[in-house]
Structure 1
Amino acid sequence: MIRRLLVIGVTLFVSGPSLAEDIKLPPTMGVTAYDTGTAGFNIAVGVGKMMKDKYGTDLRVLPAGNDVARLAPLRAKRAVMSAMGSGTYFAQEGVFEFGAREWGPQPLQLLLSTVDCNAGSLGVAADIGVKEIKDLKGKRVGFVVGSPALNQNSLAILAFGGLKQTDVKAVEFASYGAMWKGLINNDTDAAFGTTITGPAKEAETSPRGLIWPPLPADDKAGWERVQKVGSFFFPHRATCGAGISPEKPIQLGTYPYPIFVAYASVPADQVYAITKAMIVNYDAYKDSAPGAGGLAADRQTKNWVVPVHPGAVKALKEAGQWSDQQEAHNNALFKRQDALTAAWAEYGKSNPPSDDKAFLEGWMKARAAALAKANMPNGFE
């Protein structure tokens, strides 16, 4: 199984050198990220400059418009890691576009991720009088065609206010950028994004203005609804972004972004070297782009919904940033990936429908049954 193979990989590497000066990186590496100018792309570029300066490694950052496009080079071994968002979780779970017969559950595992002063939520045009998420009932909310990750994020935030997609007027756009342009141009009233994204800042200075309706952490019922739709979200106090400052913080929600991930099949020693380089040279890139400061080893999100790669675990242990509790949680997530992989294989043997929609529906039922049998949460009721 995946976990056992990786444990062997770590065991073989434990006796190797661990000092920063002994880190060995290849001459070139590929990493995929969101489009040029996004936080994920900019942070990846900052990490790449560090690797070039410290190790002579050319890190080629390949922009891609959706999660499938970001992971395809990794699966084809043309890139070693990706700066992903919530699509990491969807890929692991084999849902949405990853429920297609060409994909299925992907054994993605974390290196490092960032949670910084920013948050991810629904930005709302200030000129419509909305103060709370529940006030969006009947309002126009942007959705992006072919981007289940973004759309699921929006639905999770709407759930805080007890709203579903049918409670709002869904307006579809071709891309993330087009959606935010739509908010500025009065074609929609709300759009999901990170508070530090360029389009949000542009919206804030537009005639419509921008607000971020709060998601107070003490609203337990609201957060229970959020996490039923997006289990990867958690409460977060935002202190930076469009209209947000340390003096004017807002309680919102977030999840790690970007999340540097690699496939389970990437050798543990390679992942260790990359992660170690990012940890020991943190000061060289922490100010390279907004959000990069969240990559510090002591600021890593604990016990998230996707496991940490064994190579990265070794680097985090050396940095004193790993616990027995997280080890147990990580091992449970490895078992979840094993269960999902086995369920996909069994579904493939069951003569599934040739129609794409029927195939996905059948898989989601098989997936739910397999997780229930393993006494693991579905996450997509």
Structure 2
Amino acid sequence: MPTRRRMIALAGGIGAIALARPAIVQAGALPGLPATMVWSVYDVGSTGYVEASAIADALGRAYGARVRLQPSGTSIGRILPVKQKRASHGWLANELYFAVEGLHEYAALDWGPQDFRTLLGRKNAFSVVATRESGITRPADLKGKRMAFVPANSSVNIKIEPILAFAGLTWSDVELVQFPSYGASLRALIEGRADCAGAAPAAAALRELEASPRGIAWVELDPANAEGWKAAQRAVPFVEPFRETIGAGLSAEKPAWVMGYRYPMITVPAETSADETYAVTKAIAESFDLYKDANPIMPRWSVAEAGTPPMDAAFHEGAIRYLRERGQWSAAHQAWQEGMLKRHGALQAAWQRFAPEARSRGLEGETLGKAWGERRAAALAALS
């Protein structure tokens, strides 16, 4: 996997190429494709920034479209421009789930559950990483173990919950050891201060764990365990089985079945024109050959992988139109879509009833979040 330095260099190189090369297909004119777009993305140097740069360059070369990337290091900083229509698309991670569910910073009176839709999303891997000496290899092995935990790292914590649920466990079944940052939580394994932590396999710090005397192991989630996956998806609906071969302790010869999710997910407001989202989805899918070799992760943008559920939000109808044309939108995909639309609608309706009450009672901060959490749980329980 590229280092941060290599990713920054690649992003710069892609930008230089985009300026130097004219579009190679000027019959450009893919109906409905905007001539200019602004994409809200993660910081320069992130994998998401590099991926967006490569695809933006491809759209310029293939269709003459001009794309400006607007990087931000915060969840709100990426989502607010999309909400306010200062950015046409957001390249988002699990902040999308928090936004559509009204969780964490979005459990606030000026936010609440947002109405967003996805076009495509690259598959990514996540699981609990452990020291080999701990003996942890399955979700059930986590019971009673020291779990490195970062209270403010909501996007990691939300993905640990389904792994615990896979074995019928909760946070109360592990010994939480708090750390101030994601990097510190992973270093704790190397230093012997924790047994396990939630992590993406590509995290650079894990190479040091792999080479250390403590060794590295991944909690594997058996894809054939239907009950385990049902419990995991009840906890968080955007996860799926995923066979990972890239990352610390992993290879094509030594893969692991872990938890799949999507990052980045190309996101738009639900009200965006279906003709536009159809055209953007088609343009990204059909310029694949121009960006697939930009870095080792880019092949996962193949529409056969990136255009399937689950996602953190429902697909946009324009994207589904294109996926149907390709013959890859199945009855199972449509059932998932309908379930997500019902979930979105139920939460938005619950918020519309809750927000005026919260204002009249003067609720804010943690008090508001707790009250909304109870209302949200009731709305979701009514869907079951």
Deviation by residue 1:128-177 (Cα, 9 ceiling, x = unmatched): 33333333333322222323221121222133344322222323333333
Query: CA separation in 1, counterparts of 2:335 and 2:173?
Result: 40
State the one-letter code of the partner of 2:77: A
> Which residue number corresponds to residue 105 of structure 1?
113
Structure 1 residues without counterparts, runs of 5 or longer? 1-18
Scaled by the length of structure 2, the TM-score of the pair is 0.81
For 1:62, the equivalent position in structure 2 comes to 71
CA apart distance, 1:344? 1.0
Cα deviation for residue 207 of structure 1 reads: 4.6
Residues 32, 63 of structure 1: 8 Å contact kept? yes
Which residue does the alignment assign to 2:235? 229
1:204-247 CA-partner distances (Å, limit 9, x unpaired): 23454321121112333433332232232222222222221222
Residues 353 and 368 of structure 1, relative CA distance in 2, 3 Å threshold: farther
Alignment-mate amino acid for residue 45 of structure 1: S
1:51–1:59 CA contact under 8 A, matched in 2: no
Q: In structure 2, what residue type is equivalent to 1:302?
A: P
Partner residue of 2:20?
Answer: none
Counterpart amino acid of 1:32? V
1:165 aligned partner: 171
Deviation at 1:308, TM superposition (A): 0.6
2:102 alignment partner AA: G
Given the superposition, is the C-alpha separation of residues 311 and 352 from structure 1 closer, same or farther in structure 2, using an over 3 Å criterion? farther
What residue is the counterpart of 1:270 in the other structure? 276
Q: Measure the CA separation in 2 of the matches of 1:47 and 1:207.
A: 41
Q: Which structure 2 residues correspond to residues 73-222 of structure 1 after superposition, within 5 A? A: 73-115=81-123, 119-222=125-228
Q: How many Å apart are 1:297 and its aligned residue? A: 1.8
CA deviation after TM superposition for structure 1 residue 56, in Å: 4.9
Question: What secondary structure is seen at the aligned counterpart in 1 of 2:263?
Answer: coil
Q: 1:164 to 1:327 in 2, by over 3 A?
A: closer
Q: Which residue of 2 is the match for residue 356 of structure 1?
A: 365
1:287 maps to 2:296: no
Structure 2 CA distance for aligned equivalents of residues 32 and 60 of structure 1? 7
Matched, 1:241 2:258: no
**RCO greater where, 1 or 2, for CA within 8 Å and sep 6 or more?**
1
In 1: Cα distance, 2:209 partner to 2:346 partner: 44
Aligned equivalent of 1:311, options 308, 313, 318:
318
> In 2 relative to 1, CA 355–236 (structure 1 residues): closer, same or farther, beyond 3 Å?
same
**Structure 2 unaligned residues grouped into runs of 5+:** 1-26
The letter of the residue matching 1:358 is: T
CA contact (8 A) 1:45 1:61 kept: no
Length-normalised TM-score, structure 1: 0.82
Counterparts of 2:179 and 2:57 in 1: how far apart (Å)? 34
The separation in 2 between residues aligned to 1:318 and 1:244, in whole angstroms, is 36
Shift of 1:202: 4.2
Aligned partner of residue 121 in structure 1, secondary structure: strand
Equivalent in 319, 324, 328 of residue 321 of structure 1 = 328
Match of 1:343 in 2: 350
CA change 1:189–1:325 in 2 (3 A) is: closer
Q: 1:328 to 1:213 in 2, by over 3 A?
A: closer
Taking structure 1 as reference, are residues 206 and 25 closer, same or farther at Cα in structure 2, changes over 3 Å only?
A: farther
Q: Aligned-pair distance for 1:50? A: 1.8
Find the counterpart in structure 2 of residue 22 from structure 1.
Answer: 30
Cα distance, 1:284–1:188 mapped onto 2, change above 3 Å? farther
What is the one-letter code of the residue matched to 1:347? F
